[in-house]
Amino acid sequence: MLKKGDKVKDFTLLDANGVKHSLSDYLGKKVVVYFYPKNDTPGCTSQACGFRDEFDLYREKGIVILGISKDDVKSHEDFKNKYHLPFTTLSDESLDVIKYFGAYGEKKMFGKPYMGVLRSTFVIDEEGKLLVSMPKVDAKNNAKDVLKAIEEA
C-alpha cells in the first residue's frame, strides 16, 4: 500500500475516446485519482456526479480529476455522455493500476465474498508523490471530502 510521500509510478491508460493519458502528463498539478467499481451503477454514478458538481471548484484550484474503473473504453464513453462528466475517466481492464494503488480486494455481497474494485481515492501532488490516501470512501460525499483532505494535507 502506498504511503504519504511515496513517489507514485507513472501509468498510461485510455480515456473514453481511446486517447492515452499518463500520470506524468499532469506533473506540476495536483491529481485526484479515484477508483470505482463500475460505470452507471448507483454508488458509482453518485460518486462521479459529486465530482461533476464540484468540478469548477477543482478547476479553480488547478486540480485534475481522473476516475478509473475496469470498464472498457466504450462503457466510459457512454457513462461520461449520459451524466455529462467534465473530467477524464480511464479504463483499466487489466487491473494493473487499480492493484498498484491497492484498490482491489475482497468485498462482500449478500454475505458472500468476492474480489472487486474497492472504492478509494488518492491525491498526488505536483511532484508525483502521494499526498492523500483515502482507502474507503463515501461515494456521495467523496468529492467534498477530498477537497477537505487536500486543505488539511
Cell numbers for 34: 479515484
Which amino acid belongs to residue 28? G
Among this protein's residues, is 44 annotated catalytic?
Answer: yes
Task: Name the nearest CA neighbour of 58 among 22, 29, 83, 21.
Answer: 29
Sign of the alpha-carbon torsion through 110, 69, 89, 81 = negative
| C-alpha cell at position 127 | 511532484
Q: What angle do CA 36, 39, 40 make, to 5 degrees?
A: 125
Query: What whole-number distance in Å separates Cα of residue 96 and Cα of residue 25?
Result: 19
Active-site position among 13, 33, 44, 124: 44
Nine cell digits for residue 115? 474480489
Active-site annotation, residues: 44
